[in-house]
Amino acid sequence: MKHGWLLLAGGFWLVMNLLLWRSEYGAGVSGNPLPVEKVLSRILETPDPSELDIYLGNEKKGSCRWMVVQVGEEGMVAAENDREGDVDLEAAEMAGLIQDIHAYAISLDGQLQWEDQPRRIRFMIQLDLSSDRQWVSLDGKVGMAGTWVHIHARRGEETFAIELDEEDAQTARIEWSFDELRDPETALAKLTSLSGLPPLAVSMILGSVKSLPNMKVVDRPSDPSPEAGFAAWKAASDWLNVAHSRMRVYRMDGPYGEDLPFKVTINRAGEILLVELPRGLRLRNQGVLEL
């Protein structure tokens, strides 16, 4: 009788472990579906930056650094071993002890260089998100010493602006409403007319835009909540072959399929490994993928 109970307990333990292994690893290449929110949380809450190389096709064109900073309030940060005394806010943030996140600041800083261009093109982008992960503002600049193009977008004001800043020249600024941006012809016509280009050049640019494949303008959803914005996205756990081993990863796929591909692969810590974008543009974490 005693041996029977031992066999029964051992069989139960074996079956439960097999079921657990199957739920985690047994879904094959496509992996197990996951809540998109889970993958987003990994990306936004990782303390580690991601160092990425920029590829166009198989050619390396530059590099960039992705970093997320969690923003809290000093009064809401507490050290685990000091509930009454002073708190070092910076040390607490570095240790991941922010108890109430009020915002996220995402920065992407990098450089590009083409073979026929001796000078590097720098770009700096910052995206601010609220605590419920809705975007609040977007600021960036791209260019090189002496010539910079600045971009500014504000969700609350529903505006997008471009500024051209050149040495020894007055800064030029063009602003659109979000409604104007939904029509590429209207948006580009405003840009070219205010830039002083001749009508023939405007017509040629508009014709080029119309001929671009995969040219899509995505309408803003009627429900602006984060859940609605990512409702059409898909996430799953998967395997990634790295050197002579396999790494468990999470993947996120955008809602537009192959017409407008947008795929993100991260490791379990939330570090970005691979971003696949339209027209063969990819961001690769070479430090991990080429171990």
Reported as a single tens digit per residue, the pLDDT across 48-89 is 899 999 999 889 999 999 999 888 764 343 333 344 444 444
| pTM attached to this predicted model | 0.70
Determine the residue type at 232: A
- State the pLDDT at residue 75: 35
Residue 129, sorted as left (phi over 0), alpha (psi -120 to 50) or beta, turns out to be: beta
78 with 196, same domain? no
Judged against a pLDDT cut of 50, whether residue 206 lies above it is answered with yes
135 with 200, same domain? no
Query: What is the Cα–Cα distance from 275 to 283, expressed in whole angstroms?
Result: 5
What is the domain-level CATH number for residue 277? 2.50.20
Q: Evaluate whether 134 touches 143 at the Cβ level (below 8 Å).
A: no
Query: What is the Cα–Cα distance from 286 to 65, expressed in whole angstroms?
Result: 12
Judged against a pLDDT cut of 90, whether residue 180 lies above it is answered with no
Q: Evaluate whether 149 touches 121 at the Cβ level (below 8 Å).
A: no
Query: What are the pLDDT digits (tens) for 213-241?
Result: 444 444 444 444 444 456 678 999 988 88
156 with 194, same domain? no
70 with 129, same domain? yes
In a domain, 3, yes or no: no
279 with 202, same domain? no
Q: Which residue range(s) make up the domain with 196?
A: 184-216
38 with 118, same domain? yes
Q: Evaluate whether 213 touches 206 at the Cβ level (below 8 Å).
A: no
Report how many domains make up the chain.
Answer: 2
Nearest to 92 by CA among 74, 79, 76, 105: 79
